[in-house]
């Protein structure tokens, strides 16, 4: 039995590697065949989840290593190798309970990749996937370095040629981000401060395809018309930061507080009216900003109780 369990554990790791390698191959082929985008993101994402499950298997007991990832009914006469395993949300919960490193930023990237994968699969989107592939690259590299050091590094795990493709994609993405930023040079003088532009380019996301590649199109701050470099959808400043009236009604907008300098709207560490900045406090579990005013109220109450 132990020999079979060890073999199954090794197969899980090999399947993770194979899925990622196939996904990278599909990504390369997608340059000339759009249909490959679906299999590319699906395979790399599947490989990433298999790696997460493999990590949980490595910390399981010697006699029952698959227990943490097994959700199928368990009977004594049935093999301990699972037929059905845990979902992404369950992986996150177990990681947290086991003290396995997964930052709030990593969780956000993972959710974004999963959302993009669903859209590509169900809506048959032909839009660019370079951002999703790069997010997978970041997650894979971080996870292997922090949680699977026995694999040495991602290049060693997936092969140098596959690793090179991911690095090249990262360089292409960085160049496109640079061009997006340069498009704002035409209108930069209308911003109260460059800090607002820095924040917007860091936090903005296309409402249609969730890309962060947002270019300037026309207008002056704050009445800007912007365009997504991926899907070419036109949006305004409030749209890409999810500050519209409907976002606020649905509770989907980020936390806005009052600027202590000018009384304007403070968002993601920057005042949208005067560009005053203060420390951005991030929840390590969610990767989201913690409400500054709530923190100040908590400090006041603690001091009062003292």
Q: Is residue 144 one of the residues assigned to a domain?
A: yes
Domain count, the chain: 2
Residue 260 tokens, joined = 């202590």
> Is the predicted pLDDT of residue 286 greater than 70, yes or no?
no
Q: Is residue 14 part of a domain?
A: yes
- Domain check: are 175 and 192 in the same one? no
Domain coverage including residue 242: 187-279
Residue 78: DSSP 8-state = S
Between 84-88, 102-106, 294-298, the lowest mean confidence (pLDDT) is in: 294-298
Tokens representing residue 27 in the block = 């990504």
Q: Cis omega before residue 161 (within 30°)?
A: no
Pair type for strands 214-220 and 223-228: antiparallel
Domain assignment present for residue 108? The answer is yes
Q: Is residue 60 located within the same domain as residue 136?
A: yes
Q: Which of 3-7, 196-200, 275-279 has the highest mean pLDDT?
A: 196-200
- Segment 35-60, tens digit of pLDDT: 898 899 999 999 999 999 999 999 98
Residue 21 CA to residue 28 CA, distance in Å, equals 11
Q: Which residues are within 8 A (CB) of 27 and not within 5 positions of it... i.e. 6 or more apart? A: 36, 37, 40, 44, 129, 133, 165, 169
Q: 91 and 64: one domain?
A: yes
Q: Pick from 138, 154, 179: which residue ends a domain?
A: 179
* DSSP, res 190: G
Q: Is the pTM of this model over 0.85?
A: no
């Amino acid at each position: 039995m132990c020999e079979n369990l060890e073999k199954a554990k090794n197969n899980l790791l090999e399947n993770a590697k194979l899925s990622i390698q196939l996904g990278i191959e599909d990504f390369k082929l997608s340059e000339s065949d759009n249909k490959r985008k679906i299999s590319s993101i699906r395979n790399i994402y599947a490989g990433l989840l298999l790696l997460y499950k493999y990590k949980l298997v490595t910390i399981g007991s010697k006699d029952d290593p698959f227990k943490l990832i097994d959700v199928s009914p368990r009977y004594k006469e049935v093999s301990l190798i699972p037929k059905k395993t845990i979902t992404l949300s369950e992986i996150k919960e177990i990681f947290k309970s086991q003290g396995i490193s997964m930052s709030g930023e990593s969780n956000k990237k993972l959710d974004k990749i999963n959302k993009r994968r669903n859209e590509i699969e169900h809506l048959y989107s032909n839009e660019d996937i370079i951002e999703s592939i790069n997010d997978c690259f970041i997650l894979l590299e971080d996870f292997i370095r922090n949680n699977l050091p026995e694999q040495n590094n991602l290049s060693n795990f997936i092969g140098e040629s596959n690793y090179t493709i991911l690095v090249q994609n990262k360089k292409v993405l960085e160049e496109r981000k640079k061009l997006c930023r340069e498009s704002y040079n035409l209108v930069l003088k209308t911003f109260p401060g460059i800090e607002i532009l820095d924040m917007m380019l860091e936090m903005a996301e296309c409402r249609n395809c969730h890309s962060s590649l947002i270019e300037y199109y026309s207008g002056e701050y704050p009445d800007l018309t912007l365009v997504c470099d991926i899907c070419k959808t036109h949006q305004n400043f409030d749209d890409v930061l999810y500050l519209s009236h409907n976002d606020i009604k649905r509770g989907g907008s980020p936390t806005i507080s009052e600027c202590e300098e000018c009384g304007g709207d403070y968002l993601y560490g920057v005042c949208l009216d005067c560009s005053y900045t203060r420390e951005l406090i991030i929840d390590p579990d969610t990767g989201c900003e913690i409400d500054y005013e709530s923190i100040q109220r908590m400090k006041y109450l603690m001091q009062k109780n003292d």
